[in-house]
Amino acid sequence: MITKFENSWQALFTPEEAVSYFTGEYPKVQLEFNKYNKINSLWLAELSRLIYQKDYLVRKKILNSVQLQESHFFNHSNTQCAVITAPNFAVLVFRGSHEFQDWLSNLGTILTEWPEGGRVHWGFKEALAEVWDDVANYLDTIKVPIFYTGHSLGAALATLAASKKPPNALYTFGSPRVGNSQFAQSLTAVNNYRVVNHRDAVTSVPPNGLFNFYHAGELHYITSNNKMLVNPSKKIIEVDRDSATIKYIGNNRRWFDPPEHFADHSPVNYVAHLERLL
């Protein structure tokens, strides 16, 4: 497993330009859903990165190399997702923000009513609505256990989808807050694992205070020294992030690199951390 950390603007804003995936030999996906599984987390993080690839033939070649296939791709305006299948499981993976117009939906931070409970980010709700009817109909044809996943905006959309049609397990990477506390509470029956790279700024927006946004699911926090903590306290997270700041300043960062709280959001860095944790 040799995925390299990439602290560059390119890795952050154009992850579709990556050329290397599934480095080394990954252990097989485990049909385990009611607790976090580090093998499954790595696979789903890599699929969340691969979905940024715009060329179907590139995706097909990479998926076939690990005995997976893209059985259906949904594309409408700013929202894209795919169903990836294997003989004994499937994955619904949403693409994150990859073009400027996608960030516009991130900015629609008005909370609006959500039929399944609570209130959610208006932009995220609208983005899911673009594809949901087609996705839901296709999911009805799947007869094997299914994971939902995504990175960034893709994570937010996967979370909303899990509220509408619960999967066997939901894994998200670098997810922003999606809705209010009532919405988060409505997801308590979902096997929901939220992976956060320690200084990823996107995981701190929209703010909870005045805007009443809350995270849902079991937090799996990757520390600055590459440990995994489950539901750590706010104090532990603060201390770890302060430590990361000191290390980062002392590492002689190149002036044109993104700040760490942006670089930590890059999908490749999630994969690199999870490989090392495995």
Tens digits of per-residue pLDDT, 144-156?
A: 999 999 999 999 9
Token representation of residue 14: 């154009």
CATH number of the domain encompassing residue 254: 3.40.50.1820
Gap between the Cα atoms of 48 and 94, Å rounded: 7
Q: Would 90 be classed as within a structural domain?
A: yes
Q: Rounded to whole angstroms, what are the CA distances from 19 to 14, 41, 59, 189, 257?
A: 12, 21, 10, 37, 21
Q: What is the dihedral of CA 201, 205, 208, 211, to 10 degrees?
A: 150
How many CB atoms neighbour CB 170 within 10 A? 29
- Residue pLDDT, tens place only, 213-260: 999 999 999 998 899 999 999 999 888 888 776 665 555 555 567 777
Gap between the Cα atoms of 234 and 206, Å rounded: 17
Q: Would 101 be classed as within a structural domain?
A: yes
Q: Would 141 be classed as within a structural domain?
A: yes
- Residue pLDDT, tens place only, 37-67: 999 999 999 999 999 999 999 999 999 999 9
Q: Would 1 be classed as within a structural domain?
A: no
Q: Would 149 be classed as within a structural domain?
A: yes
Q: Would 213 be classed as within a structural domain?
A: yes
pLDDT at 108 over 70: no
Higher pLDDT, 59 or 103: 59
**Structure confidence at residue 100 (pLDDT):** 46
Mention every residue, 6+ apart, whose C-beta is less than 8 A from residue 217.
159, 170, 172, 187, 190, 192, 193, 194
Q: Would 2 be classed as within a structural domain?
A: no
Task: Provide the domain count of the chain.
Answer: 1
- pTM of the complete model: 0.94
- Give the residue numbers spanning the domain of 185: 9-277
Q: Would 138 be classed as within a structural domain?
A: yes
Token representation of residue 267: 């999908």
Q: How many residues does the chain have?
A: 278
